[in-house]
Amino acid sequence: MLTQDQLSRFRSLLQEQHKELADRLQENDHYQLGLAAFKESLSELSNYDNHPADHGTETFERGKDLALNEHTEEELLDMVRALERIDSGKYGMCEVCGKDIPLERLEALPTATRCIEHAVEVFIPQERPVEEDVLYPPFGNSREEGEDIVHYDAEDSWQDVARYGTSETPSDFYDPSKFSYSEMFIDSDDPVGYVEDIEGFIITDIYGKNVDVSTDHALHEQYETRLDEENEKDGLL
């Protein structure tokens, strides 16, 4: 159980935080959501513009303001509820099991109403948008789709372009076995400009005669490592 001195300290702390947060919300006019028209927050005479992308950016920022305002107001309500629990003698007790909430938890989160065992878990959904079930890469309509072809096709052209960046970000990919952002694109491990690994570093003339070796040592070492692994697997080493 909390002592009267501890309860008094938490009451003062909650009141101080509530006043500070309420004043800040009033100063920024609830993140400027008090403005009647959208154009007022943009300082524009009209919503029509030669650059609609500018309004798209402002619409996105407006959405963030709404989320921040909602989060701030919820924080204020949590502080009010905590003060009410102090008045009713229930502060510091878990609302689920009735056990005392550790002092360390209350000091870190004065508005806590549950012990750590019954704290509300943060749920991060792993579901992807339903549209992805019917959407395909831009090369999906190729008549050679699904075939193992060796010439430069639409898929190869997309991979070359995607190396310079797409609208997707690292958060759009999920593959715990990959450690590089560049490795997460579709078939990113496909060879470019050659079919067999050895063709990636062996230089031939127009007659097919090996005349030199490329300076791509990494590709050469990768080929040698893979060859050694295959030979070891076959019992040749």
Secondary structure element (H or E) that encloses residue 212, with its range: strand 210-213
The Cα-based distances of 204 to 77, 191, 208, 222 in angstroms read 74, 18, 5, 20
Spatial separation of the C-alpha atoms in residues 27 and 34, rounded to whole Å: 11
Spatial separation of the C-alpha atoms in residues 126 and 79, rounded to whole Å: 32
pLDDT tens track for 43-95: 665 666 556 666 777 778 888 888 899 999 999 999 999 999 999 999 999 99
Question: What is the predicted pLDDT for the residue at 133?
Answer: 72
pLDDT tens track for 117-131: 888 776 666 777 777
pLDDT tens track for 189-227: 666 666 666 666 676 666 767 666 665 556 667 767 777
Spatial separation of the C-alpha atoms in residues 140 and 146, rounded to whole Å: 9
The count of other CB atoms within 10 Å of the CB of residue 80 is 13
Spatial separation of the C-alpha atoms in residues 118 and 96, rounded to whole Å: 7
Kindly state which CATH superfamily the domain 4-118 is placed in: DksA, coiled-coil domain (1.20.120.910)
Question: What is the predicted pLDDT for the residue at 157?
Answer: 77
**Is the confidence at residue 99, as pLDDT, over 80?**
yes
**Whole-structure pTM over 0.75, yes or no?**
no
Closest-CA residue to 75 (of 36, 109, 107): 109
Contacts of 150 (CB under 8 A, 6+ apart): 195
